[in-house]
Homo-oligomer: A and B are copies of this chain.
Amino acid sequence: MTRKVSASVEYESLAAEAYSIVRQRILRGDLAMGQIISRRKLATELGMSFLPVSEALMKLEFEGLLESRPRAGTRVRIPTVQDVQGHYIVREALEVQAARLFAAVATEDEKMELTRLAIRVDSLASQPDADRYHYLSLHEKLHRRIAECARCGALSEAIEKTHALASTWMCVGRHAEGQGPRRTHQDLIEKLCAGDTDAAAEGMRRHIVSSKDRAVQRLEPYFRIGATRGATYARSARKQMAPPAALAS
């Protein structure tokens, strides 16, 4: 028996359903960074045992969206500035590779499809009242399609895994800035479609690097929170760190 959820989507397992729901909540912002997720409560809420929930959270932790400490809770990950910069270095490596392959093997139909997609993404980015999850989904799709058109399944998968994390950080404070209309993705696709692999790679590299800079800038307040957060564990940390008297001397 398959279950149905809000959007009438069928999942092949309860774990897949839980994964999808939690991921969407994080990306939508319903679960803020640092917020604690209880497996029991979530399982009760979703009407399933907490085993599939546990499996889903494990997968999300593997992707870097969550962080958990044994027997002490799972929470939405608060990145450090090193995390964000490192993450974008990985993305740069993967997506530049994809851009290079794309420029070499993409068909005309695919190029047209991506051009249309880029227009929609840029259009949504300039609308301050656009649905956050909708924008992120479309943005992910654009980058995923580039990788798919590069005809390398392993690369698509790797990029897809990194994108969940990027999406989590992408929209933080985005609407607060009130940016004007941009053409960043249309410019990118134009370069990818020109046929010059080196130019495509350089275009993608700049795109990712500028994304990184904006992400670091927007996440700036959270870095302080992340640093402060450790303080709340001060007491237990002291407990843990206090060495046995015999070994201290």
Contacts and interface: CB of A to CB of B under 8 A. Distances in A.
A70 B13 contact: yes
A90 B158 contact: yes
Interface of A: 12-13, 55, 58-59, 62, 70, 82-83, 85-87, 89-90, 92-94, 96-97, 101, 152-155, 158
A232 to B, nearest CB: 23
B89 A154 contact: yes
8 contacts: A12-B70, A13-B70, A58-B59, A83-B154, A86-B152, A90-B94, A90-B97, A90-B158
Oligomer: number of copies:
2
B154 A87 contact: yes
A152 to B, nearest CB: 5
A88 to B, nearest CB: 8
A197 B155 CA distance: 24
A96 B96 CA distance: 11
A187 to B, nearest CB: 22
Given A70-B12, A70-B13, A94-B94, A89 B155 contact: yes
Say whether chain A's binding surface is mostly helix, strand, loop, or mixed: helix
A204 to B, nearest CB: 11
A90 B97 CA distance: 8
Contacts of A152: 85-86, 89-90
Contact of A86 (B85, B86, B154): B154
Contacts of A85: 152
Chain B CB count within 10 A is highest, among A87, A90, A97, A155, for A90
A97 B70 CA distance: 33
Contacts of A87: 154
Contact of A59 (B62, B82, B90): B62
A90 B55 contact: no
A70 B42 CA distance: 24
Nearest to A51: B51
A152 B59 CA distance: 23
A93 B97 contact: yes
Question: Which are the 5 A-B pairs with shortest beta-carbon distances?
Answer: A86-B154, A93-B97, A93-B93, A86-B152, A87-B154
